[in-house]
Structure 1
Amino acid sequence: MPAELVEFTVKTLGPVKVVGKELRARFVSFEDNPIPAFWDRCFEDGTIAALEALPGRCYPSVYIGWEGAFTPDDQIFSYVVGVLAAPGAAVPEGMVAYDIPENRFAVGAIRGTPPDIYARAHDLTCEQAAKAGLEPALDFEMEWYDERFMQPDGQRLIDLYIPVE
């Protein structure tokens, strides 16, 4: 089943910061996508456990896949497996933080199976934001993973947050 937009909302979030482990990557294709293996590594190497114990964590059952810091010259971007934390939260050694100012976000709830859910989430959310008269702002987006991620029928559900104005 192809990925589909099941809900669209506009939310205000921030100020917060994303705290987590960073991967600098160049996306070529879904077959060569390094991000799923990076998530696996973060679960295995203790990163997720450290993030779960982070003082100042804002949403106890939420993990974030933050994408930004794109450099056009080499087509490399940052992907952070992380959590949202209060602006003053400490950043554990070996991790990074990106500040997110208070902002409005177009939020698309996307349901489907990998890799289609990831291939379509951005376009589905941007299309709906444009219909609502919203323009993308800032230079990042983030995947919001919570208890809804694993669906009983084997499907996945994520929220994609895109800053808008």
Structure 2
Amino acid sequence: MARLVKFDVQTLPALKVVGRAVRVRMADEMEDPVPELWARCHGDGTIDELEALDTFDPSPVGWMGDFDAKTSSFVYLCGVLMPADAAVPEGFDVREIGPTSAAVGWVQGEPDELVPVAQELTEQAMSDAGAAADDTAGWALELYNDARYAHPGTQGEVVLDFYIPCLEPAGA
């Protein structure tokens, strides 16, 4: 069962998320384009190309944002975090984030069970810490750290880092 194993609030500088994007319809779970996007980005060398650039963190990320209430959809961008002033190769999708405080939850479990609960577990830890989501930011992010996600432990479990922009509690 997936569980939160670490939580903290980090200060992120201004960054870019650079990669390939698709629009995801939330009501259409049978047609989820995200797994195919990841397969394509790993298969066509997109992730390798981006990881070789000037990155803030070379770990692959899944950025979710640009929510559209009319179509009940959002953009999912598979890529990497880069400094705000980094040059972006032609043809890539870009979203800017930060500077901001971000609640970061490390969610551990079987790979297939992490994504559905990572946001909920991180939001609960954020609430328990007296912080609140910064709903004006309009994004959340999965970070697939190589050491924690790509190398399962003895029980086959991995750790997904989940980021949510937040407002820190007063006096923090």
Deviation at 1:65, TM superposition (A): 0.8
Question: Equivalents in 2 of 1:34, 1:113: separation in Å?
Answer: 21
Q: State whether residues 27 and 72 of structure 2, in contact with CA within 8 Å, keep that contact through their aligned partners in structure 1.
A: no
Work out whether 1:117 is the aligned partner of 2:114. Answer: yes
Instruction: Give the match for residue 151 of structure 1.
Output: 152
Question: Equivalents in 2 of 1:99, 1:119: separation in Å?
Answer: 25
Q: TM-score, normalised by structure 2?
A: 0.87
Question: Equivalents in 1 of 2:28, 2:2: separation in Å?
Answer: 17
Q: 1:68 aligns with which of 65, 69, 75?
A: 65
Q: 1:164 aligns with which of 151, 166, 172?
A: 166
Q: Deviations over 1:27-63 (max 9, x none)?
A: 3466543212211110111211221222x21223x11
Q: Which runs of 4+ in 1 moved over 2 A?
A: 27-34
- Unpaired runs of 5+ in structure 2? 168-172
Deviation at 1:134, TM superposition (A): 0.9
Work out whether 1:3 is the aligned partner of 2:28. Answer: no
Work out whether 1:127 is the aligned partner of 2:128. Answer: no
Identity %: 38
- Pairs within 5 Å for 1:1-165: 2-28=1-27, 32-54=31-53, 56-60=54-58, 62-137=59-134, 138-146=137-145, 147-149=147-149, 150-152=151-153, 153-165=155-167
Q: Quick one: which amino acid aligns to residue 89 of structure 2?
A: P
Q: State whether residues 6 and 105 of structure 2, in contact with CA within 8 Å, keep that contact through their aligned partners in structure 1.
A: yes
Compare 63-72 and 45-54 and name the one that shifted more.
45-54
Question: Equivalents in 2 of 1:29, 1:112: separation in Å?
Answer: 25
Give the secondary structure class of the aligned counterpart of 2:117: helix
Question: Equivalents in 2 of 1:33, 1:112: separation in Å?
Answer: 22
Equivalenced residues, count: 162
- Unpaired runs of 5+ in structure 1? none
Compare 30-39 and 80-89 and name the one that shifted more.
30-39
Give the secondary structure class of the aligned counterpart of 2:57: coil
